Structure formats: structure tokens, C-alpha cells
Amino acid sequence: MAPAILWYRRDLRVHDLPALQAAIESGGDDGVIPVFCFDDRLIHGRFASARRTGYLLETLKALDERWHDLGGRLWWRHGDPSKELAKIVDDTGATEVHATEDVTAFARARDDRASNAIEAAGATLHLHPGLAIAADLDAIQTQGGKPHIVFTPFSKVWAQQERRQLIKAPTSLHTPRGNRGDLPTLADLGFDAADAKVEDPPEPGEIAGVHHAGQWADGKLASGGLAKYEDLRSDLPSQTSRLSTYLHYGSLSPLLAERLVLDAGGPGSATFRNELAWRDFYLNVQRQFPHTATTEFQEKYRALKWEHDDEALQAWKDGKTGYPVVDAAMRQLNATGFMHNRARMVVASFLTKDLHLNWREGEAYFMHQLLDGDLASNNGGWQWTASTGTDPAPYFRRMFNPTLQQKKFDPKGEYVRRWCPELAGVPDKLLPEPWKMTPEQQADAGCVIGDDYPEPIVDHAEERGHAVERYQAVSAG
């Protein structure tokens, strides 16, 4: 026999990994060579991010430690995966390479190239499930045999689809001796370590991810976990699950996450499972409609004329729009690399329907800042809010009033005051619209509008009307 190669991408775990199980079976006593290849086309592509690259390196360190504890070690390569994997095949005599199937157009083209190079070197590339909860996204179809473009009917079929069996983590692993290579630093990859720093990041790695998921599902976290999810999931001060980063890097199997939630039960279980279904839905959108990675799904909205305003865009990025809930959310993102899902919708609506700026600007900034930045979910979420994507609803139903959103989901101002401390002294009643304070009230609050905190850069009511005109004009055309 010969060792098998496991090609890691965004499935950085040893538990519930069909590709690893297949590699163990095919490698036998000769073992498994786990390889991660740093591909500059991704690392420095259109969504380059020092933050995500830094967290990736920490996650890989944790994965290497996991392999070491089980008797193996990771191999590192930097370059075109097609060439690097072919070299390893040639050097080791491996006849099989196993990997987790991905869905994006980039990933599928990459895998086609790698498959050809690996085959030329004398081995075969095998792709396995594990990225999504559903083992076969292609099988989730309408009665007419077409992909679902509306979430609710997709989720109903998805929920009924039989799941593959969860795979336990191996108790031991063996990696043959060879040229492991070196794990690069951020500087080696062309990033400044200072640009990767965030406040209080999740502990990296699958041990931390699985533990956190279990604690959250069992209600053992200070936030109350899954038991309080139904009631608190939209409240901005709440912590929600914070599993998205682990799911993005594959440190936590999405199938295990679903199983933990189902086993826990309770009213929050079905609600959170529905959120996991959204993740699979957007993965499927990228698989079935790869052009949506760069283009509006709804053809009529490709004619929308987006405005260009660098000052407004920068104010939005910096959290200086004058709308407290928008500013708090953007400052949370900038500081932590995370943003509450409700807040993501609010700031996306503000960018696209109050400032009338291209959703791609927001998509790119999120991907630059978010630790959990995922092409499918991020693109799907931005197109959802911009009303250009799948799961179509009337555009006017997705025009979030930031003042009302703050009153409803941060009524005591905890979230806003946490991220906009200059508003700390503003009374609850005035906090959603601090520009309406009288000079005396501003003095009492220690916050002068236009000085300590910015005036609103737009009038929401006016811009909502402008947005309606823009969308109506395109719809009528």
C-alpha cells in the first residue's frame, strides 16, 4: 500500500470528517498525510483579510496539535495546490487524495485543475461531503426537479432529507516521515500582524469549537444558550451562539451542530436549526447559481444605479453615521471581527437603501473585517437585504428603520452604549434619536451632537422614499 493524502481546506477538524475516514481506510498501515496548502489566489484574492488569515493560522496550529496528540502531524505547502499536491504524490507514491467537496465556482475550478494534475502524477482525487449538513445538496429540488430559490420550501425538503451518520474522531493517527514544510507566519503571507488583531476572539480549534457548541446547546453558558435563543436571538445585547466562526473554518462539523441542537430540544431548537438551514441554503445557491458570487441573482435589479459617495461609505465603515444602532454595530465589527445577525441586516439596509451604495461595497468590507466571513452566507445575506438575491420579497419589506430597530431590539441602550460610549449619558428615551436633544439636554448628557457625536448623515424618511423610487423604476422597466 501507500499513504493516502488528506487535503484540508475549510474542514479543519478530525471529528466527523468523511474525507479523513476515507483516507485512513485507503492509507492503511502506511498512514495519512494531512496537507494544507496556502493558495495566494485565495489569501490575496478579492476578499483578502489579515484577520481571517491570522485566525486561520491559529486554527491550523490547533489542528496540528490535535494530530500530534493522536500520533500524526500536518504538512504545509505554499503555492498552487495542483502543483504542490502533484509533487507530494510523486514524492510519496500516494495513489489517493481525499478532500471535502466545496461549492463555489472558484473551489470547483480549483478542484478540477488539481484533479488533472494529481491524475497526471499517478493518483486520484476523491471528494466527500462534510461542508454542509445535507450530504447531497443537489438532491434538494422542487417537484419540477429544479433548485430551490426560496428558503422556506428549501428548508422543508432539507429538514426531511436523511442525514449521513456522524463519524467519531479517530483515537489514533499515523503520518509517515517526510518533508512537512513550515507553517508560515502572517508576515510570511504578506500581512501585518497588527491588522489581524481583534478583541476577545473565539478560542481557535475543534476542541474549543465542539466544547463551546456543547455548552451552548446544554444551556451552560452565561448567555443562557439554546434555552433562551427563541426569546433573545434578535436582542442586540445578547450573545447568540457565536458558532459561526467555528463553522466557517470547519472546526465544528455542521452536522454535529445540528445533532447537538436536536438532542437538546426545546423551543429554541427548531429555531436555531432553521438558522443552520440558511447556511446550507446559501451554500446551495453558490453551487447552483455560481454567478451570484459577483452578480445580482434577480436580473431586473442588475440595472439599479448605485450612488458613489466615498465620505458616506467611510462614515458607515467607521460607525459615524449619526444613527446609534448603525454606528454601534459597525464599531462592534471593527473591534471584534463579529456582528450580531440582526445588526448585520440593519447596517446592510442602511448602506443600500439609506445611502444607496452598492451592496458589493458592504459585502467586501464585511469579508475584510469578519472572522466568520463566508462567501456564500455573506453574499446571500447582502443580496437578501439589498433585495437583489434569492428568496425574493418586496423590496420595501427590507427597508429597516434604524431608529425603530434600536427601540425594539436594544430598548435599554445596552448595545449602543457599549459601542458608542460618547452616548452613555443620553437618556433611554432620547438614545435612538440623540439629534433631537435640546442644547440643555445635550449638556446634561455630556454629548454635543455635531461635536461629541455626529449628526445624522441622511434623513431616513427621505432616503426611504428615494429608495422606493429607485427600485420602482427598475421594477417597472
Between CA 13 and CA 10 the distance in angstroms is 9
- Going from N- to C-terminal start, the domains of the chain cover 4-131, 132-163+205-288, 299-476
The yes-or-no verdict on residue 477 having pLDDT over 60 is: no
pLDDT at 375: 97
Q: What would the pLDDT profile of 42-77 be if each residue is shown by its tens digit?
A: 999 999 999 999 999 999 999 999 999 999 999 999
Q: Which residues contact 98 (CB under 8 A, 6 or more apart)?
A: 4, 5, 6, 7, 19, 20, 22, 23, 26, 125, 126, 127, 128
DSSP string for 36-85: EEE-HHHHTSTT--HHHHHHHHHHHHHHHHHHHHHT---EEEES-HHHHH
pLDDT at 392: 67
Q: Would you call 429 helix, strand, or coil by DSSP?
A: coil
| Residues tagged active-site | 275, 278, 306, 341, 359, 382
Q: Could you tell me which of 374, 384, 328, 320 has the C-alpha nearest to residue 352?
A: 384
CATH class of the domain defined by 299-476: mainly alpha
With pLDDT > 90 as the criterion, what percentage of the chain qualifies?
Answer: 94
What is the sign of the dihedral through the CA atoms of 91, 92, 94 and 99?
negative
Q: Could you say which architecture CATH assigns to the domain 132-163+205-288?
A: Alpha Horseshoe (1.25)
The yes-or-no verdict on residue 372 having pLDDT over 80 is: yes
pLDDT at 101: 98
The yes-or-no verdict on residue 373 having pLDDT over 60 is: yes
- The rounded mean pLDDT for the chain is 96
pLDDT at 223: 77
pLDDT at 103: 97
The residue that leads in pLDDT, 1 or 122, is 122
CB atoms within 10 A of CB 435: 15
CATH class of the domain defined by 4-131: alpha beta
Q: What would the pLDDT profile of 253-302 be if each residue is shown by its tens digit?
A: 999 999 999 999 988 999 999 999 999 999 999 999 999 999 999 999 99
Q: Could you tell me which of 276, 327, 23 has the C-alpha nearest to residue 158?
A: 276
Verdict on whether the full-model pTM lies above 0.95: yes
Q: What's the mean pLDDT in 232-251?
A: 94
pLDDT band of 221, cuts 50, 70, 90: confident
C-alpha cell recorded at residue 145: 426537479
Q: Are strands 4-8 and 96-100 parallel, antiparallel or unpaired?
A: parallel
